[in-house]
Structure 1
Amino acid sequence: MLELIQLITLTVIIHYLSCKFKVYFIHWHLDTISQSKLQWKHVIIIPFIGSLFLIFVFFYPSTAKYFIYASVFFSAISCFYLILQPIFDYAPLLSSKVRICLSLLISLTIIFIYLLTQTRWSSNVIAIGIAVAIQSFLFVDKIHIPLVLLSVMFFYDIFWVFGSVNVSLFGGKSVMVEAAKTATSLRLPLLIEFIDGKFLIGLGDIILPGIFINYAYCIDLFYKTKYFISTLLGYCFGLILTLFVLWNFKVGQPALLYLVPSMFVPFLIYAYHSKTIKTIFSLSLTSKFNEIIPLPELTLTSDFSHEPPILSEQQLTIQLE
């Protein structure tokens, strides 16, 4: 029960923080964040690269760890640098150069602590930072792409956990399970561990659903809807279901098998019930944000728990169809 509470609490915090950071990045860096837009080609690229990576780790774990360490070093620096930017807004007296130097210094310190200690806690901190930053900075224009991507990754997860066992090339082993064991033994920040590695969740099972949850949050910024809470509750239910099956069958489970339907069902039910299906599927976030940014009176509040007033009722009124 303790690991379930820890898991749900941590993932909810990650998704909530990433949504708040996304508001910041859209506010100040819409042009930049739009360039990191998720496109249709990524529906093919992500599972393809993911498959190559799993095979590489499966067959060459000793070599793969150096490649992963190098990737983590550079990606983690970028990720922590990004998520430290809103925090330094609390120190307006510091010059931009000082903020940049401090951000880089803190990022490097966190990375070197991980490389020197390689404990469960340091690995988890890196993994959490990467998850929050990627979800925050990755921009999705239309709902179709995360829907299709998650559907593809649904089957991807099932194959690499269960289907790969039946492929003779892999010697009757689950590629995903073996890769997770390698990541755990080497303390690679590709997953978040609970209870000394007895239970873990991969970053893909946080980030990929997080893209969809972030989009739901952006919908709620424009409309008085509850897509975010509906989708997040569905995600939490999927985690509970995953753990329930894991405890009963005592074998690694493809989390997306349970997470994807658990998010899609409440999302679509709410869309149907609120009669906003047509509106949501025709919505372009890029167009909507470009209509209201920049605004002369737009300021980011020092209280990060509140949204900047970019989407107040006085500035934006949209009639649901």
Structure 2
Amino acid sequence: MITLSSIKHLRIPFSIFLLPIFFFALALTPNLNGERILWVFLSLHFFLYPSSNGYNSYFDKDEKSIGGLKNPPKVTKDLYWLSHAFLLIGLIIALQISITYAVMVVIYALVSMAYSHPSIRLKKYGWLSWLITGFFQGYFTFSMAYIGLSDLDWQVMFQPHVYTPGFLTSVMLWGSYPLTQVYQHEEDRKRGDLTVSIRLGIQGTFLFSSLMFLFTAIAFAWYFLGRNQIEVLWVYLACMAPVVLFFFLWFTFVRKDPEKHVSYGWAMGMNWISALALNGFFLYYFFANTQILQVINQV
């Protein structure tokens, strides 16, 4: 029997936070195909990511707020099997695209399982888990989506036109990842998970993320200028402005009263405003880069 608590732990709406990577890959794919777009989107955002969320929740057994759940319900045994069922469905969908894409889905799933499984538990190794998570949710996911959307082989992920934007997404995630842990110090310490945020401390987490955000902006500016997309760069900076403002507002409150403002509410607020801004930008970039806007305007 599937319980309501297990469905909640899948946190399907939480997939919106990784949707910008899909849109970025979609904007750059040379072989647009409506059927492949649908299959890749469904396999990632409705099955692979929720499977990962559920599997990690099963082993974490969090009692306090986690991403997407302010009051996580107690996990039950069916969550373990439900997460596997979602992975299996995602894999079946992936096979409709290509063997290469399906293999990459399996690799992502295995790394995700290693994040929380007690026999490995990457989460307890602060900097290593930060590096691996940013790499696989960024560069690897971008490459996986690009390969699935374009119907290409795995070798393309080592080409500059793929690994350059891929690593940009990793840099973006390496900056935001510590902020998702900053309100979970107490529970992470209880389990012996010395996360990056714990190692940096609260103030250090914000300072580190601010430097990474600056580096990310410079890296994206270099990328768009290199493609002679000056207008796109201005749109990117405009979309990032509210994210930066929210971040520094949050940091200002944290410096005054960290106990009160290092909270789930602030962290999720940061996540949502980032997701809205980035999804909006990369969706715009998809229309602009594929010249669909010009076609629409001509019609």
Q: TM-score range by the shorter chain?
A: 0.3 to 0.5
The TM-score normalised by the length of structure 2 is 0.37
The TM-score normalised by the length of structure 1 is 0.35
Higher helix share: 2
Structure showing greater Rg: 1
